[in-house]
Structure 1
Amino acid sequence: MTIDAKDMLNSILKSISRIDYIHPGDIPNIDLYMDQVTTFMDSQLASTKRYSEDKILTKTMINNYAKNNLLPPPVKKKYTKEHVLVLIFIYYFKNILSIKDIEILLKPITDNAFSADGDLDLTVLYEEVCAMEKGQIEPLQEEIKKAYKQAESTFESADTKDRDYLQLFSFICSLSFDVYVKKLLIEKIIDGLPSSEEKSSKK
């Protein structure tokens, strides 16, 4: 591939190495109004935007999440630290999963964490998951470099003027296939989880 493509790869790998998460200690310990929640999320996740005008979270989004049972209702129009943690999970899940799938996935967690007699600490859960994901960054970088190298070996007989683009296309296809397979796997796992309706009928 061209030097431009290699520069692009290096830029991607560097950006992956800088991936971080919102640390629980950065979340205000006081309950927040909706405007404060959207402002906080926008400032903390600004680096994940593709375009500067993209919105991380809006009032409409929060209302839709509550309407679709993804987010427990606020208390006196205020959102707790636990609400913010749930919103962070939703933000990442919504890029690959349907609203219904996210509801099924989060319902057991929110039911426990937001109930009076629940024993699940959302901060501990969040930190555990984030620590695991941080540990996957280096293996992910190696996986991407391997996919790039494999793509470089494709279309070797193509015209020089076409080869660079076709190899770049191969690289994108390889990454896309990986995402596709993992999305299918996630959906299969979620399909095996009991839905809220099934839980209700058992009760």
Structure 2
Amino acid sequence: MTNNEKDMMHSIFEKIAELDYIKPDDIPNIDLYMDQVTTFMEENLASTKRHDNDKILTKTMINNYAKNKLLPPPEKKRYSREHLLMLIFIYYFKNILSISDIQTLLGPITDKYFKSMTDKDMTYIYQEVFSMEQNQIRYLEKDLLRRFKSAGEIFQNADPEDKDFLHQFSFICLLSFDVYMKKMIIENMIDQMTPQKDETSHHKEKKK
């Protein structure tokens, strides 16, 4: 591994170390107005930004989520703790899934756990899901090193001045293929959640 490659991997692991999910105890137990919601999300998810001027969630985004029934409407223009938990899930999903897929995935969660009067509520769902975080980060670091090593085993006969770039290129291709395959698997699982809906749509199309 060259010095440039060591620096690159060090930078990647530093970025991973900076990432952290919003802990349930950090989420306010009082209802918030829109400006307070966007400020809260901006402050607590800043480490996930690619560029400093990127926006985490805007008023327009949140309004669109409510319009598309991804998010229950606010009560008297105020958003509850449950709304914030839903928005965090939406924030992560929106980078890889379509609006309709997110709706399919979160619909049953909203129906049963949003405003639940039992201890199995949105906080329960959130805590259970994100309890996996630390184990996944450790696995990710080991997996990245393994894939980086695999990517470095090709282009052995490349021109010396191109080897660093081609190593990075092959590493990115390997990671991209992994993302592509996992996205396909996720979409297939979501499709399996709505077989009746898909079948109904298919029959309607055949009648046209």
How far off its partner does 1:8 sit? 1.1
Query: Residues 114 and 39 of structure 1: is their aligned pair in 2 closer, same or farther, counting only changes over 3 Å?
Result: same
Residue 33 of structure 1 contacts residue 78 of structure 1 at CA under 8 Å; is this kept in 2? yes
TM-score by length of structure 1 reads 0.92
Aligned partner of 2:20: which letter? D
| Cα distance in structure 1, aligned partners of 2:127 and 2:188 | 26
Identical-residue share of aligned pairs (%): 60
**CA distance in structure 2 between the partners assigned to 1:196 and 1:102 by the alignment:** 18
Report what 2:66 is aligned to.
66
Residue deviations 1:126-179 (CA, integer Å, cap 9, x gap) = 011111122111111110000101111110101101111111100000011111
Cα distance between partner residues in 2 of 1:115 and 1:22: 20
Aligned residue in 2 for 1:182: 182
Compared CA separation, residues 116 and 49, structure 1 to 2 (3 A): closer
- Which residue number in structure 2 is paired with residue 98 of structure 1? 98
Higher normalized contact order (CA 8 Å, seq sep 6+, divided by chain length):
1
Q: Please state whether the residue corresponding to 2:193 is helix, strand or coil.
A: coil
TM-aligned CA deviation for residue 119 of structure 1: 7.0
2:12 maps to 1:12: yes
Q: Does 1:78 align with 2:71?
A: no
* Aligned partners of 2:101 and 2:187 also within 8 Å: yes
Hey, what does 1:148 align to over in structure 2?
148
CA separation in 2, counterparts of 1:178 and 1:102? 21
Counterparts of 1:102 and 1:195 in 2: how far apart (Å)?
A: 16
Task: Please give the alpha-carbon distance, in whole angstroms, between the structure 1 residues aligned to 2:159 and 2:116.
Answer: 67
Q: Secondary structure at the match of 2:184?
A: helix
Where 1:50 maps in the other structure, the secondary structure is coil
- The Cα of 1:11 is off from its aligned counterpart by 1.7
Equivalent in the alignment of 2:170: 170
Cα distance per residue 1:35-70 (max 9 Å; x no partner): 100000000001111001000011000010011110
- Alignment length, in residue pairs? 198
AA aligned to 2:91 is Y
On the 8 A contact 1:113/1:119 being kept in 2, the answer is no
> Could you tell me whether the CA contact under 8 Å between 2:116 and 2:122 is conserved in 1?
no
* Residue of structure 2 equivalent to 1:126: 126
Structure 2 stretches of 5 or more lacking a match? 199-208
**Could you say what the CA RMSD is over the residues aligned between the two structures, in angstroms?**
1.8
Output the CA distance in 2 between the equivalents of 1:116 and 1:158: 60
Q: Which amino acid aligns with 2:11?
A: S
1:105-137 deviation per Cα after TM superposition (whole angstroms, max 9, x unaligned): 000001112367777411011011111122111
Find the counterpart in structure 2 of residue 24 from structure 1: 24
Deviation beyond 6 Å, 4+ runs, structure 1: 116-119
Over 3 Å counting, the alpha-carbon distance change for 1:19 and 1:132 in structure 2 is: same
The CA deviation at 1:15 is 2.4
3-state SS of 2:30 partner: coil
